[in-house]
Amino acid sequence: MYIWFFTCIIGMITVIPVHFISVEHLKLEEKYGKERGKRIGEICGIISGWLFFLFWIGVWISPQPRFTVPILQSIVIGLPAVGLKVPLLHLVIFAPFFVLGAWFGISGVKEVTLRVAETHRTDKIITKGVYSVVRHPQYLGGLLAHVGISFLLSSLYSLLSTPLIAVIVYLISWKEEKELTREFGEEYEKYRKNVPMFIPRLRKKTKRSSFNDV
- Using a 10 angstrom Cβ sphere, with 0-12 exposed, 13-18 middle and 19 or more buried, the burial of residue 46 is middle
CB under 8 Å to 197, separation ≥6 — which residues? 134, 135, 136, 170, 173, 177
Answer whether 169's CB lies under 8 Å from 141's CB: no
Please give the biggest Cα pair distance in the chain: 63
d(CA 169, CA 16): 9
- The pTM for the full model equals 0.89
Q: Which tens digits make up the pLDDT trace of 77-119?
A: 766 655 678 888 899 999 999 999 999 999 999 999 988 888 8
d(CA 146, CA 150): 6
- Residue boundaries of the structural domains of the chain: 3-194
| Eight-class DSSP state of 129 | G
Q: Please tell us whether the domain made up of 3-194 is placed in CATH 2.40.50.
A: no
pLDDT value of position 120: 86
Res. 129: pLDDT tops 50:
yes
pLDDT value of position 88: 87
Q: Which tens digits make up the pLDDT trace of 18-52?
A: 999 999 999 999 999 999 999 999 999 999 999 99
Answer whether 173's CB lies under 8 Å from 136's CB: yes
